[in-house]
Amino acid sequence: MRKLTYLVAILIIVSCTQKNEIPKGILPPEKMANILSQIYEAEHKATNIGLKYDSQKVVLRHYELMILEQNSTTDSIYKESFTYYLEHPEKLETVYDIVIDSMSLREQVMDANREKANNKAK
């Protein structure tokens, strides 16, 4: 009975201390968040330039490919990483926490710049 208790204890410890690393070939959370933030900004731009939906899709795809190139990654790595994060919700939450913080900070900077420009105009 004692051996069984030790075995269960060891299994619990091993299962709790398993590496929580991201597999090779998957974008790290910070890089994934950066790419997603840029894609969301591009999506916003594409929908606000007054083009029809089909044309917006073409423009957005162009933006996406540029963003991936600027971040030294490929479409397939991005898609594989996105799928990985979808399958690991706790890691996806971390990515989106970074995205939200990043977007909020950018919005605050833009608001501050607008306010500064308005004050100069007065």
Assess if residue 81 is contained within a domain: yes
CA distances to 1, 2, 63, 120 from 110, in Å:
66, 65, 21, 15
Residue 91 located in a structural domain: yes
- Choose between 99 and 18: higher pLDDT: 99
In a domain, 15, yes or no: no
Q: How far apart are CA 55 and CA 66, in angstroms?
A: 17
Q: Name the average pLDDT for the chain.
A: 86
In a domain? residue 54: yes
Q: How confident is the model at residue 8 (pLDDT cuts 50, 70, 90)?
A: very low
Please give the share of the chain, as a percent, with pLDDT higher than 70.
84
Whether the predicted pLDDT of 88 surpasses 60:
yes
Does any domain span residue 19? no
Domain assignment of residue 86, given as a range: 25-121
Is 86 inside any structural domain? yes
pLDDT band at 2 (very low <50, low <70, confident <90, very high): low
User: Token match 């790419």: residue?
Assistant: 35
Q: Considering the domain boundaries, does residue 87 fall inside one?
A: yes
User: Is the pLDDT score of 51 beyond 90?
Assistant: no
In a domain, 43, yes or no: yes
pLDDT at 77 over 90: yes
Residue bearing the bigger pLDDT, 64 or 10: 64
Amino acid occupying residue 41: E
Alpha-carbon distance of 97 to 92, in angstroms, equals 9
Number of domains in the chain: 1
